[in-house]
Chain A
Amino acid sequence: MDRRSVSTLRSSLAAPFSARLLDRLKAYWAALGVADPNLALALSEQTLRRLPDLSDEAESAARAIIAAGELLDDWLAAALDLPRPSPALTAARAALLSGAVPGWPMALFAPPGAAGIALDRLRTAIAEPTPAPSPGAMPAQRIEPLWKSL
């Protein structure tokens, strides 16, 4: 992510709604584990860039939260080479947010190749709820009363 490009957005978000939206997004990024306020702001602005239309306040706010998650998914998909959308990507997001990779925001912005350990940890932490299927047939048995044979 280019952190310099987001600063240009700040001037265009002076309106009260935009400020509220930005606050919300910052809070959300903090809940996702981004402790650095500057980074949270940068990510929030990056998120807002993804929303072309901010006219409907209520709708925009909800879309912004979803967009924040999608931003995270984009990085995860690229870093772990996962298709999107996919259950594996949702599982990767869960693994990231579980605390399995301490300080993940730093790994997020690390130069290519430097995030190896964090990514390994993340791969290990991705849940595998069920094994690959190996189906078998279980036909219903016939249970008939004795008198049917009479």
Chain B
Amino acid sequence: MTQPSSSSIGQTLRRVVFFLLVTVTTLVALGLLVSVFQTNGFSPMELLLLFLYTILFSWICISFWTAFMGFWVILFGRDRWAISRQPPGASLDLSAPPLRTAILMPIYNEDSERVFAGLRAIHQSLAATDSLDGFDFFILSDTRDPDVWVEEELRWQDMVRALDGKGRIFYRNRPENTSRKSGNLEDFCTRWGGRYRYMIVLDADSLMQGETLVEMVRLMELHPRVALIQTPPVPVNRESLFARILQFASSLYGRMFTAGLNYWQLGESNYWGHNAIIRIQPFLDHCGLPKLPGREPFGGEILSHDFVEAALLRRAGWEVWLAYDLEGSYEEIPPTLIDYAKRDRRWCQGNLQHLRLAFSRGFNALSRLHFLMGVMSYAASPLWLLFLMATGVEAYLQTQQELVYFFGENWQPVWPVSFAVEMTTVLLVTLTMLFLPKLLALLLLIKDGRLRHAYGGMWGATLSVLLETVFSVLTAPVLMLFQTKFVLAILMRKAVGWPPQQRGDHQTGFSEAALAHGGHTLIGVVAGTLSYFYVPAFFWWFIPVLLGLALAIPVSMLSSSMALGRQTRQLGLFLTPEETEPPTVLRDLEDSLRNHRPVLPVLREIPANRFLQVLTDPYVNALHRSLLPEREPPNKRRRHYLEGLIQQLEEEGPDSLNPAQKRELIADPETLLRLHALFWTRPLANAG
């Protein structure tokens, strides 16, 4: 690696200004609170409140000033130090691999139809740019479910045939999904990394425009010291009310935040795990992830690998950029509040693990901040809960104090000092920090007529922002309790699984909502009753939180409604540019999902299950066997085990086997051939 780039004075000044603003704002708010508490000296509870407020408020400040800087960047045009505007860097390293880019889609038990429809749309979009020759596609499957596995193979083969993609569209399923997604990518890098200069990492629900992919490669070619460029993925395609509100918020406010993040992070930005381009050689050299010593949650495998990989690249002197102004990068989000929480559960442990990494050797200051921000994304919830509880207790203690108006011989009464002004100021400052970015995002629409129209006009956008604010106020306490539960479970070393996401639209029923939110409702009712009777003044301040909890079940159910999502769209609410004028790649995806007629006849009919089909259908059986990796024949012990499974399948039918056992059977070519022959000679029990 050559010398790392030296930050210019202007770039350093940006960071100084940013952190100065965060620090000063936090100190001012803290000063106001201290002035209230210090009158009678600090009680332990007040000290705790001050401590929590400092952490939480500085967290809000970082977010606010990021949005504020993004606001200015967008208001006055593009950032002159954005990666897309920087002059070309030094000439390329001649020993670099040839200019080819691998587009990687790591998948794990996903909906194959959607995965391949997305890939077809990306392929089509890339073909329209006449740049297909420079790209290869890899479907990197870690799928364990045998039915999904076979389905993927058929859909891959269908895609290759339909798009004439032999030698350009590849598929492999890993025998063991060691280290999950990071292991999946590592497997690619160590096996085929030498063939490519870049890899573009996608997620199962990612979509990217062909022009964007080409532009990412162009930027990497222009800047040889850049190892990674992250694009901001815009959430799209969901129809439920919950997801549409989130899509709207992410789209309208998100562009301001990403512009702001780039403003102060510049070449020390972060990696979000997908929709990013990576220079493979430095990734190979510096991003091999170790197993952290010690037990989970802080030891063991690194779960949220993306932040760590960005930090390792920075540690080695490479630049990592967020191309905030690069459009045409999309993702899909969970359709319901419960699915959103499930995704949080998967991410939570990985982010908490970053607490340890923030205090590891060699990382840059900004990388440490990224780690801490990751931690705070989840740790903020228990801290807020603690803050609310401490505030309630403090308010109760205040009501228990008897007021004394006359002291000693003094005949003049000493009136208690009122701190209503200071407290109201603290509250107003906090609320301003939270809600002003929404207003700023609306102001930006005044400047841009095209965008204003895309968000449903000024009135539509304003009403949407108001409703979105109400919705986020209602759901914030629910998410706070969810995340608190996850954090506590992880700290108590209770397993947090990594179930695959339920990505498609679907509605939340009453039983599911009651099961997920029953506890929240109960907490809301109990806390409301206690505060109403014991601290009535506090009760009224507490109403937004209590309402969110008490209404968790209906809000969760109603917001999962696709009918409501569609109705609000017809009313011009929560519109996004991607809904108002869908880009080609989104239209192609929709078209592919609706009208795609598979080339392979076997895909035109839907079988009862693919597991049985791989045993019985000569084509599916042969295709699957041809895709199995070459390996040593099973040893004696394993053969006995497989014999047992065959016998069980014959006697008790396929339903008697669990998915892992079915996978074992179809992962061994000899066993698979034998089962195929057995099926054709005597039908299996319950085979249908």
Contacts of B625 in A (CB 8 A): 90, 94
Q: Does any Cβ of A come within 8 Å of B406's Cβ? A: no
- Tell whether, in the assembled complex, residue A125 and residue B676 are in contact, meaning their CB atoms are under 8 Å apart: no
Instruction: Categorize the interface residue count of chain B.
Output: 35 or more
* A135 pairs with B191, CB closer than 8 A: yes
Q: Does A6 contact B (CB under 8 A)?
A: no
CA separation between A147 and B288, bound complex, in Å?
Answer: 23
Docked Cα-Cα span, A125 to B677, in Å, equals 25
Q: Which residues of A contact B619 (CB under 8 A)?
A: 94, 97-99
Given contact pairs A58-B682, A65-B681, A87-B626, A133 touches B600 in the complex (Cβ within 8 A): no
Contact B191 A133 (CB under 8 A): yes
Do the beta carbons of B193 and A135 come within 8 Å of each other? Answer: yes
Q: In this assembly, does A14 line the interface, its C-beta being within 8 Å of a C-beta of chain B?
A: no
A143/B195 in contact, CB under 8 A: no
Given contacts A124-B166, A131-B170, contact A138 B284 (CB under 8 A): yes
A127 in the interface (beta carbon within 8 A): yes
Q: Which residues of B in the span 577-609 have a Cβ within 8 Å of any Cβ on A?
A: 600-602
Q: State A143–B353 Cα separation when bound (angstroms).
A: 13
User: Which residues of B lie under 8 Å from residue A133 when comparing CB positions?
Assistant: 191-192
Taking CB atoms and an 8 Å cut-off, the chain B residues in 309-368 that contact chain A are 312, 356-357, 359-361
Determine the main DSSP class of B at the interface with A.
helix
Asked if residues B193 and A131 are in contact (CB atoms below 8 Å), the reply is no
| Contact across chains for B192 and A140 when beta carbons are under 8 A apart | no
Question: Which residues on the A side are within 8 Å of B682 (C-beta)?
Answer: 58, 61
B190 CB contact (under 8 Å) in A99, A125, A129, A137: A137
B288, B360, B600: the one within 8 Å of A99 (CB)? B600
Q: How far is the CA of A108 from the CA of B170 in the complex (A)?
A: 29
A128 touches B288 (CB 8 A): no
Asked if A148 is at the interface (CB within 8 A of a chain B CB), the reply is yes
Smallest distance from the beta carbon of A17 to chain B beta carbons, Å?
12
Across the interface, B680 reaches (CB within 8 A) one of A65, A139, A147, namely: A65
Shortest B405–chain A CB gap in Å is 55
A100, B600: Cα distance in complex, Å: 9
A12 to B680, CA, bound (A): 23
Once the chains are docked, how many angstroms separate the CA of A58 from the CA of B678? 9
For the complex, give the distance between the alpha carbons of A141 and B681 in Å. Answer: 54
Interface assignment of A16: CB less than 8 Å from any CB of chain B: no
Highest count of chain A CB atoms <10 Å: which of B167, B290, B626: B626
Would you call B157 an interface residue if the criterion is a C-beta within 8 Å of the partner chain's C-beta atoms? yes
Query: Roughly how many angstroms separate A140 CA and B292 CA in the complex, as a whole number?
Result: 11
Given the interface pairs A24-B680, A61-B681, A98-B623, the reply to whether A138 lies near B189 with Cβ below 8 Å is yes
In Å, the complex CA distance between A136 and B189 comes to: 7
Can you list 19 contacts pairing A with B, beta carbon distance less than 8 Å? Answer: A28-B680, A31-B618, A61-B680, A62-B674, A62-B677, A64-B681, A94-B623, A130-B170, A130-B191, A135-B192, A136-B193, A136-B284, A138-B288, A141-B287, A142-B290, A143-B290, A143-B361, A145-B361, A146-B359
Residues on A lying within 8 angstroms of B by beta carbon are 24, 27-28, 31-32, 58, 61-66, 69, 87, 90-91, 93-94, 97-100, 124-125, 127-149
If A69-B673, A130-B170, A131-B167 are given as contacts, then 7 extra A-B residue pairs at C-beta distance below 8 Å, sorted by A number, are A58-B681, A87-B630, A91-B626, A99-B600, A128-B166, A130-B172, A148-B361
